[in-house]
Amino acid sequence: MRNTVFFGGLIRRLLLGVIVCLSACASSQQLSEAQRLEVFQFVWEEVKRSHYDPQLGGVDWDAVRARYEPRVRAADSDTAFYALLNAMLGELKQSHFGVIPPGAFVAQEEARTRLADGETGLTVQLVEGRPVVVRVRPGSPAARWGVPAGAELLAIDDTETQTLLERIRARNLPPVEERFEAYLAFRAYLSGHAGSEVRLRYRDLDGNEHTVTLKREPVRGERVQIGFIPEIPVRIESRILPGNIGYLAFNAFFPPVMRELPQRLRELAQTDGLIIDLRENIGGIGLMAGGLAGYFTPREAPLGVMRLRDGTFGIVAYPQNPQYRKPLVVLVDEFSVSTAEIFAAGMQEMGRATIIGRPTPGKALPSKIVQLPYGGYLQCVMADYETAHKKRIEGVGVKPDIEVELTRAMFRLSADPVLQRAVEFLKRQEIEGTR
């Protein structure tokens, strides 16, 4: 079986992240009992062979196999079988584990958790326990129709958002994980084919309800494919904000970002401070955390260590040109994951950047994607990660230096309260630096 190393990115979660709330993607074939047992054994052995910890964190993997094998034999469909495989992997209680059923990359409409080719321009997250529009991309369908930041989303087509939340909350997840799963659910329901329509009902900050129908537009960005994963649109944005504050945002740690970074940083070189926005950044290639950090440190600096079963290797920032020496802020939220978390944690430990926003979910384990017998894929953890100060991020996340606990009232003053907080912080730094 071929496999490809893919550090982070949470591809399975993007495709099947709300599978507990929605019907699973159906397989294109029906496996025999013998074939299911072959796939089951393959998954079990691959985890046992590849995991960085021979003891699997104290999980009795033999006992897990004994419990799940009878259930696999009794599964009444392939959908139930692949769900059992994911339940078995869930016993490990780590991110970056999961089975992607056969056909998931082509039957993504049925799963409704695909990397869709159409978007509305809305980001919806939990604010004060409610689904709230926290960002509206300028020029998007939502922006043209005037959907305001701070609006409470009540329904998407015929689905009440509270119904989605009840299903997620029935799992009794920790608060950060609950916000993570809610974000995925809203993202999934808002996505769809470019040109298709979606009907939204929302309540504005004055308590008035509105219904709008938006036509989804093609997802922007350069499409990148690595190994078996589907294409991911990679977007990078930079501009100078009022007050001479630089702004740089990108949604994944993929090669197009590193290719464009030098020119973007040259354009921002004369700013008085820089904001790197990693909110909604899905991670990607782990070593790129060191590559990005190199533009902000004048000397070699460690960002952490990956530990495999047979050895370790470090993520290191080597100085890059152009060097940016002014104050630096990194924005994070509940969907800043994997490599984004590694970069934020490393810059925080070095004292080179101030982290502002909401806690990250702690999903930072290096993994690989392996092709399964009879189709489908296994995402499997292959290494652990700890920072240069020997702190683990997995299951813990990155705690911002300045945590912004959003309220709907904040959106009366700013369309993006987290970004506004970062701008105000950098302006204070500039004033104090001139004294």
pLDDT at 17: 39
- 157 occurs within a structural domain: yes
Output the CA torsion 44→46→52→58 (10° steps). Answer: 10
Q: Which domain holds residue 80?
A: 3-111
Q: How far apart are CA 274 and CA 248, in angstroms?
A: 8
- 326 occurs within a structural domain: yes
Summarised one tens digit per residue, pLDDT across range 363-376 is 888 788 888 998 88
342 pLDDT more than 70: yes
Local structure of 127: helix, strand or coil:
strand
CB 391 within 8 A of CB 362: no
- 378 occurs within a structural domain: no
- 413 occurs within a structural domain: yes
Indicate the pLDDT class of residue 70, thresholds 50, 70 and 90. very high
Domain boundary among 61, 93, 111: 111
Q: Torsions phi, psi of 417, nearest 5?
A: -60, -35
7 pLDDT more than 60: no
Q: How far apart are CA 235 and CA 232, in angstroms?
A: 10
124 pLDDT more than 80: yes
| One domain, residues 209 and 228 | no
- 211 occurs within a structural domain: yes
- 10 occurs within a structural domain: yes
227 pLDDT more than 80: no
- 254 occurs within a structural domain: yes
175 pLDDT more than 90: no
pLDDT, mean over the chain: 87
Tokens matching residue 135? 């960002």
410 pLDDT more than 80: yes
Of 400, 143, 405, 392, whose CA–CA distance to 278 is shortest? 400
Indicate the pLDDT class of residue 360, thresholds 50, 70 and 90. very high
Indicate the pLDDT class of residue 101, thresholds 50, 70 and 90. confident
Residue with tokens 């015929």: 158
Summarised one tens digit per residue, pLDDT across range 19-52 is 333 333 344 458 999 999 999 999 999 999 989 9
- The conformation of residue 194, written as its DSSP 8-state character, comes to T
Task: Give residue 10's identity as a one-letter amino acid code.
Answer: L
**27-41, 146-160, 314-328: which range is least confident on average?**
27-41
Domain boundary among 85, 111, 137: 111
| One domain, residues 311 and 233 | yes
- 11 occurs within a structural domain: yes
CB 367 within 8 A of CB 7: yes
CA distances in angstroms from 44 to 33, 52, 68, 205, 380, listed in the order given:
16, 15, 10, 51, 11
Handedness of CA 37, 40, 46, 49 (dihedral sign): negative
Please indicate whether residue 111 or residue 223 has the higher confidence score (pLDDT).
223
Angle between helices 61-74 and 78-90 (to 10 degrees): 170
Domain boundary among 181, 196, 218: 218
Local structure of 21: helix, strand or coil:
coil
Peptide bond into 322 cis (omega under 30): yes
| One domain, residues 59 and 190 | no
pLDDT at 11: 46
| One domain, residues 85 and 195 | no
Number of domains in the chain: 3
